[in-house]
């Protein structure tokens, strides 16, 4: 059991903290509580695995086990990237990075700008006193500013390509729709001449070219010319009756 856990159990009575108490607890302290000790209102807090305390905002923090003062620099160094920050305040959790205001975000254990964007530092964080407060980015490594800019540039290029593809697809759909709405002429096939057996194979042109004889006045019209059968069937062979050369003798006269 850590010294902090022992201290927490040592003082079962916990007082309700005030707004003033909360303002005077450094952001690097994981847990804290208020209690009475020897007639004084004392603040106890967890710093790593150690228990620290102080009596009023103007007094320094003291280790419970050794009764030594906690240096203010030790409190600052517990935060990641503390050596790259300016105007660091462990009580207000505010600082300055590249002349921009940043704040320590305890739930995500990261530094963020005022617009809630995560701060990307130029190098890995310096090891702090309280390893439990190191951010997740310390374990996985952080991206540099150049990598961040390159990522934004690649994202913009991808968005441009998607917009171009979308425009091309819409244009193609519109062209297909306009073509589908235009009726195309249809060529109806001409009726085929009948090729039934026994029927004439004369074409329409040949029929139209057949002359019609004039009709004389007072006379019956001449009959139409007899059509010659053009049937493809073979003519029937002529049957020849063979006459025998042997004849019966005539009967003798009586």
Domain boundary among 145, 171, 195: 145
Give me the chain's average pLDDT, please: 73
For the entire predicted model, the pTM comes to 0.49
What pLDDT, on a 0 to 100 scale, did the predictor assign at position 162? 79
Judge if 83 and 66 occupy the same domain.
no
Domain span holding position 141: 75-145
Domain boundary among 70, 88, 115: 70
Tens digits of pLDDT across the chain (254 residues): 899 999 999 999 999 999 999 999 999 999 999 999 988 999 999 999 999 999 988 899 999 999 999 999 999 999 999 999 999 999 999 999 999 999 999 899 999 999 999 999 987 665 554 443 443 333 334 444 555 555 666 676 777 777 778 888 888 887 777 776 655 555 555 555 444 444 444 444 444 444 455 554 555 555 555 554 444 444 454 444 444 444 444 554 44
State pLDDT tens for residues 198-234: 444 444 444 444 445 555 455 555 555 555 444 444 4
By percentage, how much of the chain surpasses pLDDT 70? Answer: 57
| C-beta separation of 32 from 69 below 8 A | no
Judge if 95 and 140 occupy the same domain.
yes
173 lies in a domain? no
> DSSP per residue over 179-199, as a string?
HHTSPPP--PPPPPPP--TTS
What pLDDT, on a 0 to 100 scale, did the predictor assign at position 136? 35
| Rounded Cα distance, 23 and 26, in Å | 8
Q: State how far the alpha carbon of 221 is from the alpha carbons of 77, 208, 212, in Å.
A: 133, 20, 11
Tell me how many domains the chain contains: 2
Number of helices and strands in the chain (H, E)? 6, 8
Element (H, E) at 43: strand 40-47
E-strand ranges in the chain read: 32-37, 40-47, 50-54, 62-63, 86-89, 94-97, 100-105, 110-113
Both tokens assigned to 153: 């540039």
Judge if 60 and 83 occupy the same domain.
no
Torsion of CA 152, 156, 157, 158, to 10 degrees: 100
């Amino acid at each position: 059991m850590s010294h902090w856990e022992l201290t927490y159990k040592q003082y079962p009575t916990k007082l309700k903290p005030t707004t003033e108490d909360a303002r005077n607890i450094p952001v690097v302290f994981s847990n804290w509580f208020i209690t009475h000790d020897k007639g004084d209102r004392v603040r106890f807090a967890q710093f790593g695995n150690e228990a620290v305390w102080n009596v009023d905002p103007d007094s320094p923090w003291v280790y419970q086990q050794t009764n030594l003062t906690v240096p203010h620099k030790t409190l600052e160094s517990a935060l990641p990237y503390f050596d790259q920050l300016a105007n660091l305040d462990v009580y207000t959790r505010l600082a300055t990075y590249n002349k921009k205001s940043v704040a320590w975000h305890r739930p995500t254990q990261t530094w963020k700008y005022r617009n809630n964007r995560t701060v990307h530092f130029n190098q890995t964080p310096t090891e702090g006193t309280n390893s439990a407060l190191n951010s997740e980015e310390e374990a996985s490594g952080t991206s540099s500013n150049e990598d961040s800019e390159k990522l934004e540039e690649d994202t913009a290029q991808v968005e441009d390509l998607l917009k171009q593809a979308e425009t091309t697809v819409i244009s193609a759909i519109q062209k297909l729709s306009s073509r589908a709405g235009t009726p195309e002429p249809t060529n109806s096939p001409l009726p085929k001449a009948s090729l039934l057996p026994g029927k004439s194979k004369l074409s329409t042109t040949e029929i139209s070219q057949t002359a019609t004889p004039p009709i004389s006045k007072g006379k019956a019209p001449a009959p139409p010319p007899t059509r010659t059968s053009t049937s493809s069937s073979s003519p029937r062979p002529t049957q020849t009756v063979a006459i025998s050369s042997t004849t019966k003798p005539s009967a003798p006269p009586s």
